Amino acid sequence: MKPSNFPSNSGFTLLEVMIAIGILAIGIGAILVAENNSLDVTIRAKRMNTVATLARNVMVEAEREIQGKPFLEVRTESFGKFDAPFSDYSWERKIKEITFPKIMSQNQGSAEGKTGETAADPNVERVVKIATNYLSKASREVTVTILWKDKGEEQKFSVSQYWVDLNHEFKMAEE
């Protein structure tokens, strides 16, 4: 028979209980962090989907505005805010002429001290200059930027398209 003042061996000690609670707290903390990160990623994905859709809508409106007009008649910059429920977002649209690089003739390169180069056919050079000039006048880069504030910082999302006016007047003269 055991004396009554000795503890029984059945049950957990205080130290064992504290260790089990600590392990459980670490596990729950890790789950909460993972869930919070998942929620942040979901919110960001939803925002980016909204922003991409708004940018596409602005680009479609730009296409409607430009369709059938020469590029010279279209405003090069415009901006605005979206209506509710997207009043936190604003947009900018810029249309700029694409400038193709000037082709330097190989004769000019030889005159600057380069050796071993053969002269290009002047007719080919003239055709290339006329074509690049035409493409510069008939092509535009249209950039739409969506702006919003997130956590106190301004955020941007930009998308660009390149448009060519196939009805642009073709001039044979070099400019």
Q: pTM score, two decimals?
A: 0.66
The answer to whether the CB of 159 falls within 8 A of the CB of 55 is yes
Q: Is residue 170 part of a domain?
A: no
In a domain, 5, yes or no: no
Query: Is 4 within a domain?
Result: no
Q: Across the 175 residues of the chain, what is the mean pLDDT of every consecutive 10-residue run?
A: 61 90 96 93 94 95 86 88 94 90 59 52 83 84 94 93 81 60
C-alpha span between 28 and 81 (Å, rounded): 43
Asked, for residue 2, whether it belongs to a domain, the answer is: no
> Which residues constitute the domain of residue 25?
14-164
pLDDT score of 8: 61
Q: Tell me if 37 is assigned to some domain.
A: yes
Give the number of domains in the chain: 1
Residue 139 lies in a domain: yes
Q: Indicate whether 6 belongs to any domain.
A: no
Q: Is 173 a member of any domain?
A: no
Per residue in 24-33, pLDDT tens?
A: 999 999 999 9
Residue 169: predicted pLDDT: 76
